[in-house]
Every structure is written in C-alpha cells, then in structure tokens.
Amino acid sequence: MSERDFNKEIMKIVERVKVVTTSEIAAELKVSWNTAENHLLELTIENKITRMKKAGVNLWVIK
C-alpha cells in the first residue's frame, strides 16, 4: 500500500469513527503503533486532523 493510500485509509477511519486512538488505527490497518502514529502526525502536519492528548493516550479527530 502506498503512503498516500495508507493516509486515505486513515482518513476514512477517522471520518467514520469521529474520535480514534493510535492503537485503534494500528489494529484496524494491521500495522505497528509507531507506523500508525507517524502517519497520523503527517496528517496533522497537512492540517487534516487534530491530536488531543488525554491521560496518556492520543485522540485524533477531523479538523
């Protein structure tokens, strides 16, 4: 899966679920937590999603 396709899949999940954790993305896409986190951070830099830190967990939402 290309990086662009991977990011599109993440966006579909976030749009569907509304609020998602890094672990949920990793589990659904069958990748490591670090890989999911890196792609989520890329989407944050692209201004597509926002990260909220809550009690030791990252929550991701559509901007």
Closest CA to 10 of 39, 38, 46, 32: 39
Q: For the chain, what is the domain count?
A: 1
The range of the structural domain enclosing residue 16 comes to: 3-62
Cβ–Cβ < 8 Å for 44, 50? yes
Q: Residue 23: what residue type?
A: S
Which of 18, 57, 8 is CA-nearest to residue 37?
57
Mean pLDDT by 10 residues, the chain (63 residues): 87 95 96 96 96 92 92
Residue 4: what pLDDT?
83
pLDDT of 60 = 96
What's residue 2's pLDDT? 81
pTM, 2 dp: 0.90
We report the CATH number of the domain holding residue 46 as 1.10.10.10
CB 50 within 8 A of CB 61: yes
Tokens 């990252």 identify what position?
58
